[in-house]
Structure 1
């Protein structure tokens, strides 16, 4: 946001400086001669001449001057910039103009956070914690239309808590947000036929489909459709755009949901492409070579097309490529409006937004339910099935599951049984969370699971978690790296029933005398101690950390020569992290970042500010 900070009186300069420092691309303007401010002659005249040259105006001072300055400039909420007023003491931040569309409400909250001030937002939907329906589409790159009523009336129906139906045909960040924050007066549906329209005052729909309904409709058109096109050389585009639009309408698919137009490199200079890009103005153009398309299987292969292009179907293969192999909604469709102007097109939907099963592998963290990530917690709250490693993950982590969710421990299951239950839920189009201890990438045993998911083409994603080595550093109040002494952390385990690769034997890793965090090794602690003593001094600090962050957490410190005794005397089990190295509890290392050699880092911000002011004056 290009932002003008209008300093009404010198008393507000400190507040203006703080905002200027925190808000990128902002400049302070004042009628007074003040360092780091751009001099203007008159506030009202400046606002009048620059009103549409800035995305936002932030007035520091009296509200009356702010209102009188902007009043002659007001035109339309869709074009007016955001206007905010901050009192000169920085205690209140008021959203004055263009709260939703212009972003003033969001900027107001941001500035209030910067100043530790009170945000004053008078928009009803914001104060009620409800969706901003007029800007929701732009936030998630959805085109927005309404039918049967004005936008203001639709917003009023929603805010007044009349019964509203919400239809979600796709799944993306926007629909996940709506599902997560859905107010009580809104009922969610995934199929239009399930909605008894007479029971609702309006319908909100997120779908690429054209809807014919009998109640007022607020329609969000997600850009999730990908159009693949092929044609004869030098094809004349006249009428083809209209033909495709008519076919989309016949198939009840909205042209506003077209995200891209694609073809093969051989056709990149065809006039038809330019015509289609103008028709679908919000679309991007994808050009693929034959090599990129050769692995894509098309339902209607053509040997003749292959001879010319090197692929068995231009329209279908390019549509599928753009959609990441999502479903074809329109298979190859041939058209011929005039002799010699043959063309084909196909339409596919982005695979990522298809409402189907999904598996999220979530790192639970070391044990404390509060140490799971925000995303991980949200995944647990949304899951239809939570399958957690019961012997390693506290059950308390699953208590946030939604009503009706299935929560199962995998402790007594074979790998095949785990696969079976996950696939059962997945095949029903449901959301599965596989909950692993710590971070899944560290001894998480997810490799075989991912191979299974890949084999069946299942959608999955990994949410990382805090590992126990990080929890150990926190519990030991230690920085595991020491400037000029220890700059490496080794995560490994001792050799038990599973052999270690020869080059990763513990005594070889010990040569570096790095900070070493040893997993899953309490049962072979004698061997661990013996190998480490080959290179670490016997008095090297060690810590045996049992069930880090759990209620049962216990930590035993000592020296390396006593490691085996510490573990055995305290009956420590497999859930023990062994840490070895001089970094444990070290307070002698001093980072050079805070030495006098680096004072230029702290001068940089002042230099940047002066340079910005100089450019504004130019």
Structure 2
């Protein structure tokens, strides 16, 4: 944000400098102070700069602030954000352009920087409601109207509101998770009884027909438009107007279009050149297009273009979505088809989540949120504490995968996925480490199922924390090896333990408690027998146990304490090491701290 500080009161100098150091905002002052820009009066500054800056932060009396800006205020959509901070730096007040101008958010940020209290009086903020006039900007949506005072009034007064979500993105996920009590969420327009509601909010690229209550439409850019054109089709403006009219007939605004696409041979068409001034244009070879199955193949198009489709096939390829929302529509010299980008489809979704090492508090914030809204939680049996699933929403299915083979797990997930439900597959630690997710992902990829992976804290990270050890020590150990011993699962020849041990790195060995004798023998080929080791059983679980010793005693350490497969073995001089001093803190770098202090 391009902002400026206006220092009214000399007493606020330190506050102004704190803001300048953090944000690099220039400081204009009525007093000749160091590191400030001197001005004779505030009016001279605002007369020139009022609309050149996105925000002004006044430090001094509120009355002076208000009188200074009064004659320059025009419109909340164009006025800059105005803050006022008292000379003691105790309160940061959002004065003007709270939502649209960003004053409310800036007030919170600046208050946190200087240790002050943000003062925000906007009704929606005070009541914990959404700011309807900033949702579009926040989530990169198009909104159907700028003047929405009526709708905002209905919403902030707590009137019953229906929320229709026909696509899925970060914005809709946030709305689902954070909707106020007066909002009911719907996914199909026909399910909404409009007489029961005072306001309708819609997040969709489409405008439904027959809306008879106040409404706002938030539309993401999510549509791919495929076009076909006659050779040197003219007049261009008429063709583009006809296309726009066709989109409007389907309830689609041009503001929802991500891109247009067509065949390579149309690169030099006048209409394409004109569209390129506004939209990205994607081009496809005929051999790519003819591989796409389309609803309306054309032998005529095949005769001239060597593919049965241009508009439908290019829309499908661009969207990576086989389903069209507008099948091929013909004009006099053009054809048009449209599809929603697959990332925005409100369809089934599978989230593979790393549960962390055991403690329910060590799951990621994203992982926790996904668990709270999942329709199915399939967790990895005894490896994941059931307490992690206690945040599941009412009505969710929560099931252990311990009694299910892979085929049964896949069938269960697909059953929910096909209904458009959210599935969480909960694995221990981080899924990338011995998580057994490869087979599942092969299936998801084969059937083009939508999935994502949320990483988790691994046992080796929990081990470092519980051992209070830094696993990398300057000039001594700079590598951590995560591996396992060779049991029933064979190791690649180049990854035998004794070969990895040659580096003398910090080694974290998973899934090897039952073959500890073999592990110890291999490690002793390279590590000294006095090398520190730690046996970490059920890290961060209630029954956690940790035993320290030396490599020569590793076998007895595990056997004498009856440690099982749930044990991570850590080997290396980094354990409990306090001798390696980072160069950053050595005497050679003390000048950095002297400079910073100055």
- Alignment TM class, shorter chain as reference: over 0.9
Q: CA deviation at 1:317?
A: 2.8
Per the alignment, residue 614 of structure 1 pairs with none
Q: Which residue does 2:355 correspond to in 1?
A: 364
CA shift, 1:431, in A, is 0.4
What is the CA distance between 1:322 and its match in structure 2?
2.6
Q: Which residue pairs with 1:218 in the alignment?
A: 216
**1:516-560 CA distance string (max 9 Å, x none):** 000001111111111000000001000000111111111100100
SS of the aligned residue for 2:387 comes to: helix
**d(CA) in 1 for partners of 2:44, 2:306:** 64
CA distance in 2, matches of 1:288, 1:80: 45
Question: Any residues of structure 2 matched to 1:597-608 within 5 Å, and which?
Answer: 597-598=588-589
Match of residue 230 from structure 1 = 228
C-alpha RMSD of the superposition: 2.1
1:473 aligns with 2:464: yes
Q: Distance in 1 between matches of 2:373 and 2:387?
A: 16
**Which moved further from structure 2: 391-400 or 26-35?**
26-35
1:585 pairs with 2:576: yes
Range moving further from structure 2, 299-308 or 236-245: 299-308
Cα distance between partner residues in 2 of 1:602 and 1:292: 60
Distance 2:591 2:296 in 1: 65
Q: How does 1:284-303 map to 2 (within 5 A)?
A: 284-288=280-284, 296-302=292-298
Map 1:140-289 to 2 at 5 A. Answer: 140-146=139-145, 151-211=148-208, 212-236=210-234, 237-276=236-275, 283-288=279-284
1:414-425 counterparts in 2 under 5 A?
414-425=405-416
Structure 2 length-normalised TM: 0.95
Tell me, what secondary structure is at the counterpart of 2:398? strand
Q: Could you say which residue in structure 2 is the equivalent of 1:378? A: 369
- TM (norm. structure 1) is 0.92
1:245 offset after TM fit, Å?
2.4
Distance 1:123 1:537 in 2: 67
Q: Distance in 1 between matches of 2:452 and 2:185?
A: 25
Give, in angstroms, the shift of residue 331 of structure 1: 2.0
Answer whether contact 1:146 1:217 (CA < 8 A) is retained: no
Count of residue correspondences: 596
Higher mean alpha-carbon deviation, 41-50 vs 285-294, is at 285-294
Partner residue, 1:615: none
Deviation at 1:10, TM superposition (A): 2.9
- Which residue number corresponds to residue 408 of structure 1? 399
Q: Write the mapping of 1:53-202 to structure 2, written as runs, cut at 5 A.
A: 53-146=52-145, 151-202=148-199
**1:308 to partner: Cα distance:** 5.4
* Aligned counterpart, 2:448: 457
Q: Which whole-Å deviations, capped at 9, do the CAs of 1:212-247 have from their partners, x for residues lacking one?
A: 211111111222111112212321114222222232
Shift of 1:144: 1.1
Q: 1:201 Cα shift?
A: 0.7
Q: Which residue of 1 aligns with 2:51?
A: 52
Shift of 1:504: 0.5
Aligned partners of 1:520, 1:376: CA distance in 2, in Å? 25
1:499 to 482, 487, 490: 490
User: Does the aligned pair in 1 maintain the 2:290–2:309 contact within 8 Å?
Assistant: no
Return the alpha-carbon distance in structure 2 between the equivalents of residues 318 and 231 of structure 1.
Answer: 13
Distance verdict in 2 for CA 1:506–1:130, change over 3 Å: same
Q: How does 1:267-346 map to 2 (within 5 A)?
A: 267-276=266-275, 283-288=279-284, 296-302=292-298, 305=301, 311-325=307-321, 327-336=323-332, 342-346=333-337
Q: Does the Cα contact within 8 Å between 2:6 and 2:56 map onto a contact in 1?
A: yes
- Aligned residue for 1:239, secondary structure, equals helix
Pair 33,223 (structure 1): closer, same or farther in 2 beyond 3 Å? same
The verdict on how the C-alpha distance between 1:604 and 1:81 changes in structure 2, with shifts beyond 3 A counting, is farther
Displacement, 1:513?
0.6
Q: Within 1, Cα distance between the matches of 2:212 and 2:464?
A: 61
Gaps of 5+ in 1: 337-341, 608-618
Structure 1 residues 294 and 12: alpha-carbon distance in aligned structure 2, compared to 1, 3 A threshold: farther
Alpha-carbon deviations, 1:179-202, whole Å to 9, x = none? 111111111111111111111111
- Is the alpha carbon distance of 1:304 and 1:512 closer, same or farther for their aligned partners in structure 2, counting shifts above 3 Å? farther
The offset of 1:443, in angstroms, is 0.2
Cα 1:446/1:12, change in 2 over 3 Å = same
Q: Deviations over 1:571-614 (max 9, x none)?
A: 1111111000000011111111234555686699899xxxxxxx
State how far apart, in whole Å, the 1-side matches of 2:484 and 2:407 are.
Answer: 27
Separation (CA, whole Å) in 2 of partners of 1:285 and 1:172:
23
Report deviation, 1:326.
Answer: 5.4
Q: Is the 8 A contact 1:387 1:434 kept in 2?
A: yes
Query: Which has the larger displacement, 351-360 or 296-305?
Result: 296-305
SS in 1 for 2:339: strand
Give yes or no for contact 1:263–1:315 (8 Å, CA) kept in 2.
yes
Contact 1:12–1:89 (8 Å) recurs in 2: yes
Looking at structure 2, the residues matched to 606 and 244 of structure 1 have their Cα atoms a distance apart, in angstroms, of 64
Tell me the residue number matched to 2:505.
514
Q: Distance in 2 between matches of 1:115 and 1:296?
A: 59
The CA deviation string for residues 138-190 of structure 1, in whole angstroms up to 9 with x for no partner, is: 2112111259xx61121111111111111111111111111111111111111
- Whether 1:523 and 2:514 are equivalent positions in the alignment is yes
**Contact conserved, 2:207 with 2:217, CA < 8 A, in 1?**
no
Distance 1:381 1:130 in 2: 21
Instruction: State whether structure 2 residue 572 is matched by structure 1 residue 551.
Output: no
1:5 paired residue number: 5
Structure 1 contact 326–349 (Cα < 8 Å) conserved: no
Shift of residue 49, structure 1, vs aligned partner: 1.4
CA contact (8 A) 1:507 1:534 kept: yes
Q: What residue number does 2:563 align with?
A: 572
- Answer whether contact 1:327 1:350 (CA < 8 A) is retained: no
Q: State whether residues 267 and 273 of structure 2, in contact with CA within 8 Å, keep that contact through their aligned partners in structure 1.
A: no
- List, as ranges, runs of 4+ consecutive aligned residues in structure 1 with deviation greater than 6 Å: 599-607
In structure 1, distance between residues paired with 2:424 and 2:326: 33
Local SS of the residue matching 2:377: strand
Is contact 2:289–2:309 with CA below 8 Å preserved after alignment?
no
1:613 paired residue number: none
* Contact kept in structure 2, 1:326 and 1:351, CA below 8 Å: no
